[in-house]
Copies of this chain bind each other. A is one copy, B any other.
Amino acid sequence: MGNIHDIARLAGVSATTVSRVLNGHPYVSDEKRAAVLNAADQLRYEKNINAVHLARGKTETIGVILPFVSHPYFGTILGGIAAAAEKSGYKLMIVQTNYHTAQEIEAMDMLKLKQVDGLIITSRECPIELVEDYSEYGRIVLCEALSRDFLSSVFVNQYEAFKSALSFLKEKEKKNIGYTVLRMEGKSSISRKKAYEELFGELRSHWVFDQALTIEDGTRIAGEWASLTDQPDAMVITNDFVAAGFLLECRRLGFSVPGDVSVVGFDNHSISGALNMTTVELPLQQLGEIAFEQVISSETSHKEVPFQLVERGSV
């Protein structure tokens, strides 16, 4: 740095003392330590922030793990996190994982390496026990239902939210209901199957459509749906973009929605409003804001955000 001498001059201490403070050496008086940190702070706009982070043990940066940064579901959560971070003067370190465990571990190492003060995991592939191992290094918040002592969580009750969509369709006397999942072997797929079977009994496995992430996936799934001889008369599609692709492609193929097939989307993204589509509202922006508050908090906490069925014209 060379600027160790500038800090020493400003703090009125020796360069050796500055070096000790910046290296976290324990035998420095609190008074001198404070003087060095203040001087480093005053000079920081011409210096290397890594020295300040090193000395303070704080970076005012939060890590965010996202499987896909450009997907609207995660984008909306990220928007909430970013808005709250901006208000509190924090920066975000974003890692896109594509659900690869190796990427998730590398991202969690940022916490261990003190590159970030805390970590928000919006979705993950790796086992929860592994995440828990990292909790000793700083606050970790997961955007999923959890009751672990050392991890915070903020979540929508996905099981009840999915069940509310199914119950709504049951009330509307729909009997043959299909649905989508992102990954057949994903955690939420198991709870969806359970909710389905509780309400409707046995599930025909070819009424579950997987790899449902984008508008194009919705278009593809509409084609798959149309080619079935036993078409479901209603679809619960667990994200509004996939639902939009499905609904528009069904109409393009000459089917009426509702009529030939009803659609319930998820999220209440503005696309569902523009398409007059019934959906289950998930307050994702708010969820992101809460996750940020939790990650900078000194306490572990578990918070549920409410969902709500928004009835429009696609059922």
Contact = CB atoms under 8 A, between A and B. Distances in A.
B86 A216 contact: no
A50 B45 contact: no
A108 to B, nearest CB: 11
Contacts of A114: 48-50
A71 B71 CA distance: 10
A69 B79 contact: yes
Of A79, A91, A215, chain B has the most CB atoms within 10 Å of the CB of A91
A235 to B, nearest CB: 16
A2 B19 contact: no
Interface residues of A, number: 66
Contact of A72 (B22, B45, B72): B72
A68 B44 CA distance: 28
Contact of A274 (B51, B69, B219): B219
Nearest to A81: B69
Interface stretch (A162-170, A202-210, A244-252, A254-262): A244-252
A214 interface: yes
Interface string A219-262: 10000000000000000000000001100110010000000000
Interface in A50-81: 50-51, 53-54, 57, 59, 61, 68-72, 75-76, 78-79
A26 interface: yes
Given A50-B114, A92-B94, A94-B82, A270 B215 contact: yes
Interface string A274-310: 1110000000010000000000000000000000000
A130 interface: no
A61 B94 CA distance: 10
Given A4-B23, A270-B245, A96 B86 contact: yes
A146 interface: no
Interface string A184-223: 0000000000000000000000000000001110110000
B44 A270 contact: no
A109 B4 CA distance: 20
A50 B270 contact: no
A282 to B, nearest CB: 14
Interface of A: 1-2, 4, 19, 22-26, 44-51, 53-54, 57, 59, 61, 68-72, 75-76, 78-79, 82-83, 85-86, 91-96, 98, 103, 109-110, 112-115, 214-216, 218-219, 244-245, 248-249, 252, 270-271, 273-276, 285
Nearest 5 interchain pairs by C-beta? A70-B79, A49-B113, A215-B270, A82-B96, A50-B54
Given A1-B54, A93-B94, 5 more contacts: A44-B113, A69-B82, A82-B96, A91-B94, A248-B274
